[in-house]
Amino acid sequence: MIKSELINRLAERNQHLTQRDIERIVGTIFDEIANALSRGDRVELRGFGAFSVKRRPARTGRNPRTGTAVEVQEKFVPFFKTGKELRQKLNLSGKQSDDSE
């Protein structure tokens, strides 16, 4: 699902809100998660999962075309760990589709 599909689904379920309002809400949520991560904070959405930032140290890599050594700088990457309820829901839905075959 892409962002526009999420907005459309939310609009279908919340017809009392305008499409523009839903776009602002979704954008604000994503912006707040990104801002919190950029500050080094952890964002936890109970039942869904937690976003955090992992540090990747500097290292020597290889250029895949030429094979020459390339210095890769230290970087920080977003990390998502699923919550217990989401994992259970995913595993339950997988078992239901197996039972129907």
Divide the 101 residues of the chain into consecutive groups of 10 and give the mean pLDDT of each group.
Answer: 96 95 97 96 96 96 94 96 94 61 43
* pLDDT score at 46: 94
Structure confidence at residue 92 (pLDDT): 85
The confidence score (pLDDT) of residue 49 equals: 97
The CATH number assigned to the domain holding 56 equals 4.10.520.10
Same domain? 15 vs 56: no
47 and 23 in one domain? no
d(CA 42, CA 95): 32
**Phi (first) and psi of residue 29, to 5 degrees:** -60, -50
Residues 88 and 55 in one domain: yes
**13 and 57 belong to one structural domain:** no
Q: How far apart are CA 72 and CA 50, in angstroms?
A: 27
Kindly report the pTM of this predicted structure.
Answer: 0.75
Distance CA 44, CA 25 (A): 18
CA–CA dist 58, 73 (Å, integer):
5
Q: Are residues 32 and 64 in the same domain?
A: no
The range of the structural domain enclosing residue 59 comes to 42-101
Asked whether residue 62 falls in the same domain as residue 50, the answer is yes
Cα–Cα distance for residue pair 95/92, rounded to 1 Å: 5
